[in-house]
Structure 1
Amino acid sequence: MLSVLVTVSRVQAQIVPGTGFRDPDVGDDFEDPEWEFIHNWPKSSREQDGQERQPFGYSRNGKWFESAKRGHPDYLKRIATPPGGLPGSKGALLMRSLYTGIPYAPSFKGNQDDFIIEGTSISVNYSPSVVVRVYLPPWDEWEDRTGTSFGFRAGVQALVEKKKKSRFPLFRRTSKQWETYWPGIFIQFNSKTDGHPQDSAVFIIRADERGQDVVGPMIHQTGWWTLGMSFTPDGRVHYYARPGVQNLRPSDHIASFWPYGYRCRTFNTFFFNIANRDDGKTWSTPWVIDDPYLYYV
């Protein structure tokens, strides 16, 4: 379900993504002309058919790897940085997919791939954050489908109280267990072909305290955008976006939540989703990213 973001809570504890020290080992600038991803086809699709097809794909620089759950984007290539990118940037990464479900077996319904950074576990006491520059192509280059096209997400953990199984329900005990979850910022395309007044996009925030996705700001401007998420000691996740490649500011704050009602304790990794209709003939929107990195205070 989707909730509409009506007001934004200005949380005093928020940290603007990109604050502090940039971890050079958890991120990539794509400046190496020899950057390459080894796909090791066919990719995994455990989410759809339970199949993990090893060996998994990986980047030659050791920074990226295939998801055992959803595989990896079908097309991953270092390209020249599109106009208007970060000053001095010569390279960025192009990501596209054709089969986002089971390899070579279209499902004819929306699916998504994962592209995962080699992360590191870090306590939210260090206020970790992640930032990426994303290039939104001209509207006529988007997959002509209203729906989610791109996701920028994090893998985090919380201690969650759960009831233990028992033959006597009235006497069930509770225990705290680590729960992994994946908050994020999605970009949804709204196609005029489907009845919208004009082609546009919108940010979708995952998720609020009830676990619902939240409709964020509309996107009427293509080109470069800067997206970020931060994770603070109070357990909240904070979401930011601004057009252009400049550093994020407090005014770029979209929302802050305890997703699913969980209080985040540990940040583990970040990753990207590439989605399409998975019909075996229609490629996803061409997505370009640059300088995705982890920061902490």
Structure 2
Amino acid sequence: MRITNIRIASTVAMLLWGGTAMQSAHAQRAVVPGTGTEIVGVADDFEDPNWNYVPNDPKSTEDIDENQRSPMGRSTNGRWYEGIKRGHPDIVQRVRTPAGGLPGSEGALLMRSRFTGIPGQPSGKMHQDDFVANVQYRLKRRVDVSEVPSVTTRVFLPPVAQWENRSGPHFGFRLALETTAMVDKEIGIGIFKRTVEEMGNEVYWPGMFIEFESQGGNRENDYAYLRIRSNRRGGDFRGPQITTTGWWTLGMSVTPDGMVHYYASEGVDDLTEDDYITSQFPYDYRAERFRTFFYNICSADDGHRWSTSFIVDDPKVYLLRPKQQMASRPSSSRR
């Protein structure tokens, strides 16, 4: 099995994807993720040999059966927690950094799941788990987009033969953003309760998914690509094809106009302008605040197959124009 080799790097090429690359002639210039200063004390490098995650199973499945199953899972260093909406991956484990990773890195994080829906009750439908970085609470604030936040991560894709044999999303890297929009609000008590629409705080989750189309049917070879969430209408669309397995670098930034900018490249080198994919106002929202970032692990949830094992390393959060004094270091000091 192989993945066909295509490299897409220029803005002109992005415009061939249905005109979704740049949605506004008045959009601010995209900022390469990793620009500015790294915020120390959030995210992780997984170098501590005693790194551990306490799952507090069974995990939450609020999105399926409204069951939060407290207490939530947390890492012992306080930097990660279980997503209350969908629960954490079944396996969250520090492992030795695969070959070709960042120079000097000895530890990385493996995530894998079999029951991505209700624990022990396979549904036969694709579900996903969340693994959330504890950014907002460690900073004790949300980040205004005028500070130009960005996040980068390295992701290790195993050999294709080791992927779950399933077409669909396998992995996600996403932001949690806030804006002001029309939201549903319940008012009243008991039988007099009703839902009204009013302006309020809306949380949304743009990002990138690693999508896999398994060999079979009319497809001669396995095929993988990045799927972008989302355009102005809330629809996902195809990004660049994934040409090889091994290490990739993904990143997203948010500019003061509320636009989200997406970047990706093969390898572990820092992102550059050449790695630009697209700029979007997902769901026609203009972001006002950045909360955090998180990973998704997806599987068939059939009780038999395990998800593809993804390994991540050195996720980092950066601010180009920080409003507050905080522990930070220049992006040029990255390993």
Please tell me whether residue 232 in structure 1 is matched to residue 232 in structure 2: no
Matches within 5 A, 1:76-87: 76-87=92-103
Whether 1:214 and 2:237 are equivalent positions in the alignment is yes
Superposition deviation, residue 164 in structure 1: 8.7
CA–CA separation in structure 1 for the residues paired with 2:91 and 2:105: 21
Q: Is the 8 A contact 1:5 1:216 kept in 2?
A: no
CA distance in structure 1 between the aligned counterparts of 2:269 and 2:306, rounded to whole angstroms = 30
Aligned length, in residue pairs: 289
What does 1:24-103 align with in structure 2 at a 5 Å threshold?
24-103=40-119
Q: Contact 2:28–2:255 at 8 Å: present in 1 too?
A: no
Post-superposition offset of 1:7: 6.0
Of 130, 134, 150 in structure 2, the residue corresponding to residue 118 of structure 1 is: 134
Mapped pair 1:223 → 2:246: yes
Secondary structure of the residue aligned to 2:251 is: strand
Counterpart of 2:285 in structure 1 is 262
TM-score, scaled relative to structure 2: 0.83
Listed one character per residue, the Cα deviations across residues 265-293 of structure 1 (whole Å, up to 9, x for unaligned) are 00001000000100011000000000011
Q: Does 1:281 align with 2:304?
A: yes
CA–CA distance in structure 1, aligned partners of residues 218 and 166 of structure 2 = 11
SS in 2 for 1:26: coil
Q: How far, CA to CA, are the matches of 1:119 and 1:7 in structure 2? A: 30
Deviation, structure 1 residue 162: 5.9
Higher strand fraction (1 or 2):
1
The match for 1:272 among 290, 295, 306 is 295
1:285 counterpart SS class = coil
**Matched residue, 1:170:** none
Which SS does the other structure have where 1:159 is aligned? strand
What amino acid is aligned across from residue 118 of structure 2 in structure 1?
Answer: I
Give a deviation string over 1:119-157, Cα, whole Å, max 9, x none: 121000010000000001100000001100000001000
The reply on whether 1:134 has 2:149 as its aligned counterpart is no
Instruction: Give the root-mean-square deviation of aligned CA atoms.
Output: 2.0
**Candidates 3, 9, 22, aligned match of 1:9:** 22
Cα distance change of structure 1 residues 4 and 106 upon mapping to structure 2, 3 Å threshold: farther
Report the Cα distance in structure 2 between the residues aligned to 1:117 and 1:162, rounded to whole angstroms. Answer: 26
Q: Any gaps of 5 or more consecutive residues in structure 2?
A: 1-15, 137-141, 188-195, 321-335
Say whether residues 1:296 and 2:322 are aligned partners. no
2-structure distance, mates of 1:238, 1:12: 10
Structure 1 alignment gaps of length 5 or more: 167-172
Deviation at 1:9, TM superposition (A): 2.8
Secondary structure in 2 aligned to 1:48? helix
Describe the shift of the 1:174–1:150 C-alpha distance in structure 2 as closer, same or farther (beyond 3 A).
closer
Q: Which residue of 1 aligns with 2:329?
A: none
- 2:183/2:201 contact within 8 Å kept: no
* Within-5 A mapping of 1:178-193: 178-193=201-216
* Counterpart-to-counterpart distance in 2, 1:258 and 1:127: 15
C-alpha displacement of 1:4? 4.7
Q: Per-residue CA shift, 1:193-246, capped at 9, x if unaligned?
A: 354221121100000001000111111211000000000001100000000000
Change in 2 beyond 3 A, CA 1:175/1:140? same
Deviation beyond 4 Å, 4+ runs, structure 1: 3-7, 161-166
- Are 1:143 and 2:167 counterparts? no
How many angstroms does 1:251 deviate by?
Answer: 1.2
CA contact (8 A) 2:28 2:257 kept: no
Percent identical among aligned pairs is 49
From the superposition, tell whether residues 261 and 81 of structure 1 become closer, same or farther in structure 2 (CA, over 3 Å). Answer: same
